[in-house]
Structure formats: C-alpha cells, structure tokens
Amino acid sequence: MLGNFQQSNLRIEVNASEKNIRESLLESDRLKQWMWPQNFTSLSGQLTKGDTFISSLGLIKVEHQVEMVEDNCLRLILSKGIDGYHQWHWGDGWLQSRLEGISALPLNLGQTLSLFRLRQYLSTNYQ
C-alpha cells in the first residue's frame, strides 16, 4: 500500500443517548444516511462480527470488515484505499473515533467530517 501511516483519535460531545448512537453506527440504513455522499455495497441489516462491505466516494473504495461489535464499541478492519482500522466507542452524550492506517488520503480530515455529520444526524433525527 502506498501512502503514509496516519493516526487520529477524536472525541466529541453529542446530544444523544448511548442507544441512539449505537443504532446510528450499527444499523445499515441509518449509517448510509449520515455517511452520505459515500456509497455502500453489500451493506444491509445490523452490523455483526464478520460482516464485510465496501464504501466508495468517487473512485476511492475502502473495504470494511467488522472485527468486533459490543454494547458501546465497534471495530472495523480497513483495506484497499486505507490499510488499517477504525474503532468507535460511545456512551450517553459522547462519541470517540480512533482511526489508524496507511493511506494517501487525508484520514484526519475525513474522520472529522464524519464525526460532525454523525453529530448533525443525531441532533436532527433523535430530538
């Protein structure tokens, strides 16, 4: 894989319950809504350990494999456009995202935009 090793760990406050955050991360229909304009293939239902799906934004494709799903944690192994992992932790009123990988893409920028899109989604759809 060509690119640079990058890591980013961001935590934000959200006006949402642990349950609503979990639903937004694990239910594919909700995930597709707040991750727009990314497209997803092979993604349906609720994410479970071992699931794989591909997200794409233009010509850039990233394969995701669900490595771990717990009450307040999700870990995805990433390949193709990013070789690494993305781990989510959450609780009532907060959300944390840790992203590590090798990529030519600016991972911190994409991660920041995703967190703000999710926070906006939660405030709009769960109030």
pLDDT tier for residue 126 given thresholds of 50, 70 and 90: confident
Domain count, the chain: 1
pLDDT confidence of residue 58: 83
pLDDT in tens, 57-66: 888 899 999 9
Enclosing domain of residue 14:
4-125
- Are 121 and 34 spatial neighbours (Cβ–Cβ below 8 Å)? yes
pLDDT confidence of residue 36: 85
**φ and ψ of 19, to 5 deg:** -60, -45
Q: Domain with 69 in it: what CATH number? A: 3.30.530.20
CA dihedral defined by 108, 68, 102, 11, rounded to 10 degrees?
Answer: 20
